[in-house]
């Protein structure tokens, strides 16, 4: 019996994973892009489209700590600007379209802190982006039947509980 594309992906990521460095980022990004191409024939992807769960954990690595999640979102869903603390994340679009705006937190000479947009990228099926520790971004789902993979370097619930994951109330505001 041949392994599924998802099983093959997990095996390859485990081999390529060597912490936060250029080699891991480049390898895992390409592996995710390859998985987005193969996923449409996989039962787990068909389940995501039919059941539309907001989030489903597909794999959690006990040795390296990375987590692969699949997410669906409704058109118009907006996620406020945030970072992922000390963690890092890959977003790979399986179906649909999402806008992702990136920001830099800036403190003026008068001591006021606010976010400045670096621009918005349109993410479509087959595309993958990585956000490193401290990178700030927001997301807006632009289509129905949106499905994405999110591969996180760590459990972001822990990052949030320990106060490293920061959410901003609006693009012009300081952290919440």
User: Is residue 176 very low, low, confident or very high in pLDDT (cuts 50, 70, 90)?
Assistant: very low
Domain ranges in the chain? 5-161
Which residue would you say has higher pLDDT here, 164 or 128? 128
| pLDDT of amino acid 171 | 63
pLDDT in tens, 103-155: 999 999 999 989 999 999 999 999 999 999 999 999 999 999 899 999 999 88
| pLDDT of amino acid 3 | 61
Contact (CB, 8 A) for 129 and 100: yes
For the entire predicted model, the pTM comes to 0.88
Mean pLDDT of the chain: 90
Q: Please, which contacts does 19-24 make with residues 24 or more away whose CB atoms are closer than 8 Å?
A: 20/88, 20/132, 20/133, 20/153
**pLDDT value at 173 more than 70:** no
> 5-161 sits in which CATH class?
mainly beta
CA neighbor of 88 nearest in space, from 117, 62, 65, 119:
65
């Amino acid at each position: 019996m041949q392994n599924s594309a998802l099983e093959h992906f997990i095996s390859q990521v485990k081999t390529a994973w060597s912490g936060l460095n250029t080699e891991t980022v480049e390898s895992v990004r390409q592996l995710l892009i390859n998985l987005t191409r193969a996923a449409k024939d996989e039962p787990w992807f068909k389940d995501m489209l039919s059941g539309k769960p907001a989030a489903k954990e597909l794999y959690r690595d006990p040795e390296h700590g990375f987590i692969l999640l699949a997410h669906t979102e409704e058109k118009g869903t907006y996620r406020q600007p945030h970072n992922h603390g000390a963690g890092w994340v890959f977003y790979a679009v399986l179906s649909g379209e999402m806008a992702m705006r990136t920001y830099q937190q800036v403190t003026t000479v008068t001591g006021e802190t606010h976010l400045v947009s670096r621009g918005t990228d349109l993410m479509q099926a087959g595309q993958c982006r990585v956000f490193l520790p401290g990178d700030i971004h927001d997301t807006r789902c632009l289509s129905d039947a949106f499905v994405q993979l999110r591969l996180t370097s760590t459990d972001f619930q822990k990052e949030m509980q320990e106060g490293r994951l920061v959410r901003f109330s609006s693009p012009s505001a300081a952290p919440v």
